[in-house]
Amino acid sequence: MTKMFTTPKGLIKGRAPTALEITNLKNALPLGLLMPDSSDDDQIYGLVTKCGDDEAWALKQQNPDISPSSFKAYLTSYYYLMCRSVCEYLKHGFGGCLVPSFYRKEKGDRLEFGFSFLGSPSPTGRESNEFPPMPPYDENFGEGFFTMYSHFYDGLKKISKEDGFPFSPVIGLDIRKTGALGQLVVLLMVHGKTVFVCKRDLVDDDMMLSILADGGVEEFVHLPCLPMETKSSNKRVN
C-alpha cells in the first residue's frame, strides 16, 4: 500500500512496511513487536513493553506536574514539538531506533505529563562510534542511546524557541520500567532514516503529517501500533 497525502504543508508519501523493515524494527525494540491478529480488521501491531517477567526500560523526561484543566494545552504543544523534533533528529543520521512517546500519570489533583524514550542504538551507527558514552544512561539501553536522546532533546528546545510552542523545564531524567510510567502513548518511531507513524487513522489534513511534511519528511511507513504486554514471546515477529 502506497498513498500520497496532500497536507496543508505539502505532499508526503505513506506506505506499508516491508518484511525486512519489520524484522529490523523488531530486533531494535527492547522486547520486540507483536504481529497483528489475522482476524483483526484494524491490523494493529504491538510494541511489547512487557513479555512474561521482562519489562522494557524507558528514559523518563519529567516536567513539573500540571493541572488537569491545562492538559489539553500541554498536549497540543508537546504533540507539535515531538513531531517537529523528529524532523530535526533525522538530520543527525543516527542508525539506531528511538521511540519518543508521551507518558501520563494521575497524582491526586495533579498530572505528571511528559516525554519518555525507548529504543536502542546501532553498534555501527555514528551514535555509538563518534560520541563519548554515557554509562549511567547507556547501561540499560546500549552505548549511544543517550546521544540519540540528547540530540532529540536539543531539537525539542530549539523548536520550542523558534516556533513559540511552550516546553516546560525538565526537572528529572530517570530510567524507569515502562510499567511505572502510567499511560504510555506511542505516536512515532524512528529507525535509522525511516519514520514509522503509529497512528491508526490518517487523512490528508492530519496534523502529524502536516508537521512532518513541513519539516522536510517526504516519506513515512504507516505502522499502526500500541504498547502491549504479552505472557510469552510466541507471537513476536520473527
Q: What is the pLDDT of residues 50-92, one digit of tens each?
A: 999 999 999 999 999 999 999 999 999 999 999 999 999 999 9
| Cβ–Cβ under 8 Å, residues 85 and 72 | no
Residue 238 has pLDDT above 90, yes or no: no
State which H helix or E strand residue 129 sits in. helix 126-129
Q: What is the mean pLDDT of residues 139-164?
A: 96
What whole-number distance in Å separates Cα of residue 91 and Cα of residue 37? 35
C-alpha cell at 40: 483483526
Looking at residue 96, what is its pLDDT? 98
Looking at residue 39, what is its pLDDT? 61
Q: What is the mean pLDDT of the chain?
A: 93
Residue 37 has pLDDT above 80, yes or no: no
In the chain, what are the domain boundaries?
A: 2-226
End-to-end CA distance of the chain: 22
Percent of the chain with pLDDT over 70: 95
Q: CA-CA distances (angstroms) from residue 3 to 49, 185, 219? A: 30, 25, 10
Q: CA-CA distances (angstroms) from residue 114 to 57, 170, 182? A: 16, 9, 11
Q: Phi/psi at 224 (nearest 5 deg)?
A: -55, 125
Looking at residue 157, what is its pLDDT? 96
Kindly report which listed range (33-37, 61-65, 158-162) carries the lowest average pLDDT score. Answer: 33-37
